[in-house]
Chain A
Amino acid sequence: MESSVDAPPVDGEEGTSVGAGTAGVRLEGVTKRFGTFEAVKDMDLEIADGEFFTMLGPSGCGKTTTLRMIAGFEQPTEGKVLIDGDNVAGQPAYKRPTNTVFQSYALFPHMNLEENVGFGLKRKKVGKAEIKKRVADELERVGLSRDAKRKPAQLSGGQQQRVALARALVNLPKVLLLDEPLGALDLKLRKGLQVQLKTIQRDVGITFVYVTHDQEEALTMSDRIAVMNAGRIEQCAGPEDVYERPETTFVAGFIGVSNLLPAVATGPNEVKLDSGETIPTGDASRFSSGDRCYAVVRPEKLTATTSGVAPSDRPSIDGVVETSLYLGNSTQMTVDVGNDVKMKVLIPNASEAERQDLPGGGSRVKLSWTAENMHLVRESPEEAAGADPIDPTDNNTEGVTK
């Protein structure tokens, strides 16, 4: 997971005024208020040198505001922002060793690609010959050498995005900030650019701080993900941890689809569901006996069998199939298990014969799983970020996920 931490800067441009290496970022007790609205609440965060770090969350969760505070477009109301150990809070953006890739690209329409990409180096008073070379190299990297003399308006969205990336990377910033850089592109293009971005990050070894509301994108690209909700970080961990071992109901619900069963912890590996059954779980040592919690199991970890024939060594729960949706590569079942709880079950389309045998609507089924695939999560302090006032700076276009 931490594969790129030690990667040295690849462009052998030593001894220039920019790009003297990469650096980590630390936020200490950072709060940002817009009037009475608290966009970011007392946040502590440590991003390692060379890490691909993602802030993931719904619109208005404060992720873009946090990014803008690292960039210097916003100043924190309280707290410190440290880049490479220096507190930069209060410093304007142009004095910080960061560069940003904007969601809208923000390419200068009156300049051609070469001028756009060379803008930062020119301000840094880098020599003309060197600017020319580095700009050419960077345009080469993103595959737009032939378009150097064209204006941004003559390019497609995906090409503009690559120019925006080149314009930031050419300065070899200590930290590269990316604000939903793929948000405005269509799915296919996005997938391709995800891979490209990740490859480039490995090559240059620069710390990437990436903001997105697309959970799949976050899981694919990141070394670590901070899942944010209502101005707070709900969980900060690697993609596998966030997906397999969510800590809160919000994380469990925002990343992938989760089945949440209200319960009370009864032991280090045991939980009593509100419906009465006491069942074994994965590690529940974070909870003390008697704590309210939710038992979480992912839809693909469930097996549905016709009543009565569940393997006896597996925990299980009885229910009635409500709907069964054919999704092509899988079938999604909704199973009513009583107490107003509906569970989603995802059954891979392994063979057509098997699929034909699946229990249909109205059938009684037994859902079973292995004990270590069930986790306990606590209830998020503030559920449903969508009900919060919208962060004024968070202009993310929602509804483009997947």
Chain B
Amino acid sequence: MKTLRQRMVPYWLLGPGLVWLALFFVLPMYFMGELSLKTGSLADGYQLTWATQNYTDAISQYSTQFVRAFYYAGTATIICLLIGYPLAYAIAFKAGRWKNLMLFAVVAPFFTTYLIRTIAWKTILQDSSPVVGFLKFVHLIPQDGRVLATSGAVIAGLTYNFLPFMVLPLYASLERLDVRLLEASKDLYASTRTTFFKVTVPLTMPGIIAGILLTFIPAAGDYVNSTFLGGTSQAMIGNVIQSKYLVINDYPTAAALSFTLLVIILAALMLYIKFAGTEALMGEDEEPA
């Protein structure tokens, strides 16, 4: 029999985290939810009127920005996966003694703030920059074309900023992959390509899923990249929420938009888990008996 003290240990361990979440996540969420159903103005004060039209208005008015946010975030996530998987694979299996240095290189951008890095990209992509000059020279863009203030620039920025969030979970799952399983696959007549798709990819699915979630979710709500690298016609839903809150001070609409974004992402996540299976999401860690 465990003593009462022993049985209390898990709760003591959970305690600080639970208190923190209650104070700084649950409580604000509650106020935000309430706010999204209020009417009024900052000057006159807000009243709870159960104004559900806040939601219908928000969705009908800003559907373009919603769609654009998911399109940009989705594209950036796919590009991150296509760049990140080979990179993580190389670091895990081919880097040898350069492994730690390469991992450091992946994380290194975090030593500079997000904002500064994005502003640096603005410098790189501005009209008179050598990069744009080169792109014009090789006719990848027309002579009077721009890079800044295009969808491409925003997606490129998102891809750059969220790439580490894709690479790290992929690396972690590739690193744990038992290379003898790859040998077993080749021993059973599977070519390198077949081995990759039948063994490597399924076994690193937890990393792929984690990487996709960690990239897509923050990218969908991002407004920094769009602000600095895009123009008005590249505005994402994050930009709208930001301006409603901080510029126009229309708190109820901003809250309604935030909640809508949250619900859409959660719904997408549910579908994704159902499709990919919780096993893949949670990892399949049971050791052989």
A residues sitting closer than 8 Å to B (CB atoms) are: 71-73, 92-95, 98-100, 102, 104-110, 119-120, 123-124, 152-157, 160, 167-168, 171
Contacts and interface: CB of A to CB of B under 8 A. Distances in A.
A109 B184 contact: no
Interface residues of B, number: 23
Contacts of B178: 104, 106
Most chain B C-beta atoms within 10 Å of own C-beta, residue among A123, A153, A157 = A123
A27 B16 CA distance: 66
Contacts of A108: 181, 184-185, 199, 203
Contact of A123 (B194, B202, B286, B288): B194
A171 B190 CA distance: 13
B287 interface: yes
B289 A109 contact: no
B64 to A, nearest CB: 41
27 contacts: A72-B186, A93-B186, A94-B187, A100-B184, A100-B187, A102-B184, A104-B178, A106-B180, A106-B183, A106-B184, A108-B185, A108-B203, A109-B203, A110-B202, A110-B203, A110-B284, A119-B188, A119-B190, A119-B198, A123-B188, A124-B189, A153-B284, A153-B286, A154-B289, A155-B289, A168-B187, A171-B189
B61 interface: no
Given A73-B187, A120-B188, A123-B188, 13 more contacts: A94-B190, A95-B189, A100-B183, A100-B187, A102-B183, A104-B178, A106-B178, A108-B199, A119-B188, A155-B289, A157-B288, A157-B289, A168-B187
Contact of A102 (B180, B192, B202, B287): B180
A186 B23 CA distance: 54
A92 B189 CA distance: 9
A124 B190 CA distance: 9
B181 A123 contact: no
Contacts of B287: 153
B191 interface: yes
A107 B288 CA distance: 10
Contacts of B203: 108-110
Contacts of B198: 119
A392 B7 CA distance: 47
B100 to A, nearest CB: 20
B183 A93 contact: yes
Nearest to A100: B187
A106 B185 CA distance: 9
Most chain B C-beta atoms within 10 Å of own C-beta, residue among A73, A102, A108, A171 = A108
A58 B101 CA distance: 37
Contact of B289 (A104, A124, A156): A156
Nearest to B189: A123
A28 to B, nearest CB: 23
A155 B287 CA distance: 10
Contacts of B284: 109-110, 153
Given A110-B202, A123-B194, A160-B288, A94 B184 contact: no
Contacts of B181: 106, 108-109
A390 B287 CA distance: 28
A167 B287 CA distance: 20
B47 to A, nearest CB: 56
A161 to B, nearest CB: 11
B184 A92 contact: no
B188 A99 contact: yes
Given A153-B287, A155-B288, A123 B190 contact: yes
A94 B202 contact: no
Contacts of A94: 186-191
B176 to A, nearest CB: 11
A199 B31 CA distance: 74
A160 to B, nearest CB: 6
Given A109-B284, A152-B288, A99 B187 contact: yes
A168 B187 CA distance: 9
B113 to A, nearest CB: 40
A167 B16 CA distance: 50
Contacts of A123: 188-190, 194
Contact of A167 (B183, B188, B192): B188
A208 to B, nearest CB: 15
B198 to A, nearest CB: 8
Most chain A C-beta atoms within 10 Å of own C-beta, residue among B188, B191, B286 = B188
Contacts of B194: 123
B189 A120 contact: yes
Nearest to A124: B189
Contacts of A157: 288-289
Contacts of B180: 102, 104, 106
A171 B188 CA distance: 8
A330 B66 CA distance: 84
Contacts of B190: 94, 119, 123
A70 B284 CA distance: 33
Given A109-B284, A110-B203, A155-B289, A92 B186 contact: yes
B187 A98 contact: yes
A14 to B, nearest CB: 20
Contacts of A124: 189
Nearest to B202: A110
Contact of A119 (B183, B185, B288, B289): B185
A102 B188 CA distance: 12
A316 B52 CA distance: 108
A73 B189 contact: no
A102 B183 CA distance: 10
Most chain A C-beta atoms within 10 Å of own C-beta, residue among B187, B198, B199, B284 = B187
Nearest to A120: B188
Contacts of B188: 94, 99, 119-120, 123, 167, 171
B55 to A, nearest CB: 42
Nearest to A160: B288
B172 to A, nearest CB: 17
A102 B180 CA distance: 8
A136 to B, nearest CB: 18
Nearest to A119: B188
A169 to B, nearest CB: 12
B287 to A, nearest CB: 7
Most chain B C-beta atoms within 10 Å of own C-beta, residue among A93, A155, A171 = A93
Nearest to B279: A110
